[in-house]
Amino acid sequence: MTILEVKNLSLGFTCENGFHQALYDVSFSLKKGQMHALVGESGCGKTISAMSIMQLLPKNAKIISGEILYSSENICQMSQAQIQKLRGSKIALIPQDPMTSLNPLYTIGDQLLEVIKIHQGLKGEEAFKKATEALDAVQIPCAKERMKAYPHEFSGGMKQRAIIAMALACNAEILIADEPTTALDVTIQAQIMNLLAKIKNEVNTSILLITHDLALVSENADYISVMYAGKIVENAPSSEFFNNTKHPYSLALLKSLPSSKRNEKLQTIAGQPPTIQQIISGCKFHPRCDFVMEKCKFEIPQNYNVGTEHHCACFLNENIR
């Protein structure tokens, strides 16, 4: 069952030197109990797509067209009061740096109890029980004692768990995890990814995972959308994506993953992704593409159907089906 659908979303920013488009016809959906990974380099439009869902866009952003449907209602047309109700209780954001969401002046318990009061209407013992259960669920040991701790007494991984606990305590149906492990070391990264997978499987929460790291999503994501320069260039169920990768950018991302073989040279993608101010004709990946053809420089590739639920915006796939 589809729980969230982003349909043909185009968006831009008014800057000092004019209006610049940042998202082009972005479409993807999130199913109940599914982890959908939105993958790409910094500045490709992943985070701004997520912020559009949360309606936390900067003032100079403008949605040009498209809609974001939650329970068949367009989030872009909701009132501030409706949006406030949705945030936290239905859709929760897990940020890159948990300190941006935790108040250093209040204990973890106070902050958990506050969100439970606002979103669940619970108080006293009932709220305390819900809060400790949520801390237990995210595997924070001695949950009752930890309620009294301040954020600075938690490690980076524990802070991120506390944020996830807040979302769980509010029974959020959708978690938007924006590079949730970037600020953590590698072993803790794996623990947080396992925790998100556990929540997805046991609580049936839907997760939109935003990341630049394909390796991180290879085990847990059900569906993958690769973004480049504000556009989804390839999307497919995870196994289909990894077994039958089609887009030259996705292939380049996969090749740039570190290998377990010793002494193997790390491959990089030549050049830089374009900024939103840069105008690039044709396929926006063409200046960096190993397979570039003459038409790629002037024509924009369509999103070709290349397999079961598998789409790819590249001329190389024009005649596959």
- What minimum distance in Å lies between the beta carbon of 281 and ligand SF4? 11
Task: Tell me the C-alpha distance between 157 and 193, whole Å.
Answer: 11
Residues in contact with ligand SF4 by the rule CB under 6 A: 248, 283, 285-286, 289, 291-293, 296, 301, 314-316
Q: In terms of CB distance, is 179 or 234 closer to ligand SF4? A: 234
Q: In terms of CB distance, is 119 or 284 closer to ligand SF4? A: 284
Torsion angle in degrees (nearest 10) through CA of 96, 102, 105, 111 = -170
Task: Tell me the C-alpha distance between 111 and 116, whole Å.
Answer: 9
Which residues are paired to 66 by β-bridges?
Answer: none
- What minimum distance in Å lies between the beta carbon of 293 and ligand SF4? 6
Q: Write down the residue that tokens 């831009």 correspond to.
A: 12
Give the Å distances, CA to CA, from 121 to 81, 103, 113, 201: 17, 21, 10, 27
Q: In terms of CB distance, is 46 or 246 closer to ligand SF4? A: 246
Q: Give 203: exposed, middle or buried? Use CB within 10 Å, 0-12, 13-18, 19+.
A: middle
- What minimum distance in Å lies between the beta carbon of 197 and ligand SF4? 31
- What minimum distance in Å lies between the beta carbon of 42 and ligand SF4? 20
Q: Give 308: exposed, middle or buried? Use CB within 10 Å, 0-12, 13-18, 19+.
A: exposed
Backbone angles phi, psi at 193, to 5 degrees: -65, -40
Cβ neighbors of 201 (< 8 A, separation 6 or more) are 33
- What minimum distance in Å lies between the beta carbon of 226 and ligand SF4? 11
Q: In terms of CB distance, is 169 or 314 closer to ligand SF4? A: 314
Q: In terms of CB distance, is 19 or 291 closer to ligand SF4? A: 291
Q: In terms of CB distance, is 199 or 289 closer to ligand SF4? A: 289
Q: Are 173 and 116 in contact (CB under 8 A)?
A: no
- What minimum distance in Å lies between the beta carbon of 106 and ligand SF4? 49
